[in-house]
Amino acid sequence: MAIWNSFISPTFVFLQAILIVVTVAFVQEYRSEKSLEELSKLVPPECHCVREGRVEHTLARDLVPGDTVCLSVGDRVPADLRLFEAVDLSIDESSLTGETAPCSKSTAPQPAATNGDLTSRSNIAFMGTLVRCGKAKGIVIGTGENSEFGEVFKMMQAEEVRFMLSNLCLLTAACLPFIKAPKTPLQKSMDLLGKQLSLYSFGIIGVIMLVGWLQGKHILDMFTIGVSLAVAAIPEGLPIVVTVTLALGVMRMVKKRAIVKKLPIVETLGCCNVICSDKTGTLTKNEMTVTHIFTSDGQHAEVTGVGYNRFGEVMLDGEIIHGFNNPSISKIVEAGCVCNDALIRNNTLMGKPTEGALIALAMKMGLDGLQEDYVRKAEYPFSSEQKWMAVKCVHRTQQDKPEVCFMKGAYEQVIRYCTSYNCKGQTLPLVQQQREQYQQEKTSMGSAGLRVLALASGPELGQLTFLGLVGIIDPPRTGVKEAVTTLITSGVAIKMITGDSQETAVAIASRLGLYSKNSQAISGEEIDDLDIQQLSQITPKVAVFYRASPRHKLKIIKSLQNNGAVVAMTGDGVNDAVALKAADIGVNYGNSIFRNNN
């Protein structure tokens, strides 16, 4: 009975470990397949194509370079298109860049983009992106794997093949010269332990044979005894113990709502010393929010609260501003609310993020009802060329009175239509001194990483009264700053990688404690000018990588690994997928396209 128990106990543990490993692997592989199916949904099955002068409903897979495609609101772009006709066109390129703010598109010629900066190609509509506003026509210049979207897939497939070959090399112990099988720190430690035990075993055998030979014993008997002792010194149960321990770690992480694909990753996570993180939606909330108001008469107000809801307050010199108790601020809020096409219902935005931020500001002031108080008589839609939007309205209860024009947009454009400015409810002539002051304020807000909008109102375009500026930003997530502080204190370096501008990226990084005076920030264009060895020398000093494409993210990961770092990549979009695959640990948040942990 004792013999049976001694046999069944380790056997049961071994079978249990195998069952856990197989189950976890099966579930995660199934999730991976489902994720790939979700990716295919980013490319539309059908599109509107011009053939022989007629618009036809065509399968997207039948498109060839040279075809003309028509786009309208809600369409997914079926191929890379060079736009030759665009009306108020805005496209959501978050599937490629990770930045959710819609990109305004035009037909104006652009310089050739050699640095992979997709945001600079304003006359190209990329496959898989979504038309948020307007309509357009374009000529197909790239389909399938020859598109920008296809380039991302090819890089992903290359990483997947490398990963599969590496695993095959590990499983078969076939040390192919052209495959360098990556190993986790635990696997490296186990290999080192195996080598040390082997050396000790040979040493034990040699010592016993030497002692036996000196004592005149039979050399073969001494060799047998030495081998027996050496074998007994090897902990044959160690692999089972390690597997069970890692499986328990996976179970604990599941309780924390973290799905782990490979058992050794549990241990690798604890050895991670560099984290590369996407900005939008990972470090930030991905909800544009007004944080600062500057009035034309020189008042500075701060806005609290985050997201598309009414939770927050407008603070001026420590006092809460609500309703119309401050005319200078309420006029700005009124203009931003009325000159707006967005709606917020049940804390859900329907429209552009920037306009949603203005509606949320009005909600905090209790003025969101103004949007329905005015009847719109005419509209001048926003375009990337003019960079402003204006509406002509009349109040529902005062339709016999003259129409009022409200405008919002880039400061440089809005100020051109202004002849006066508002000062504590009075309208005063706009002089050069005021223009210079407003320009300085706009520059100051922009350098702080804020997206700046100017607002004005008046009887006619060209006779507007300048009201002020609002600063908008995608604020950091709650708890991220504390997490960053904990990681840095623990000796983990954090790198922000984003497709956004330098000003915005540095501003967010500074708020989170990732960027200081001694930190560096480099662009995707600068990364292109460096090889892996050169990049490896400067990445330890760089805190922010901006205007980074998927190709740049992959190069950054490789350069850090080249320094011997154990790198974790966090992200939540297709633009992060390649880097997630290449990193030692890929961490994806939420229920987005990739649930991947390498």
Active site residues: 278
- d(Cα 412, Cα 418) in Å, to the nearest integer? 11
- DSSP output for 108-171: S------S--GGG-TTEE-TT-EEEEEEEEEEEEE-GGGSHHHHHHHHHHHHHHHHHHHHHHHH
First-to-last alpha carbon distance for the chain, in angstroms, is 45
Query: What tokens were used for 103?
Result: 């990109």
Which of 409, 343, 417, 360 shows the shortest CA–CA distance to 381?
409
Which of 443, 439, 27 shows the shortest CA–CA distance to 259?
27
- DSSP output for 2-36: HHHHHHHHHHHHHHHHHHHHHHHHHHHHHHHHHHH
Q: What is the chain's length?
A: 598
- d(Cα 431, Cα 421) in Å, to the nearest integer? 9
- d(Cα 380, Cα 260) in Å, to the nearest integer? 51
Which of 87, 160, 181 shows the shortest CA–CA distance to 386?
87
- d(Cα 589, Cα 258) in Å, to the nearest integer? 9
Distance of CA 235 to the CA centre of its chain: 45
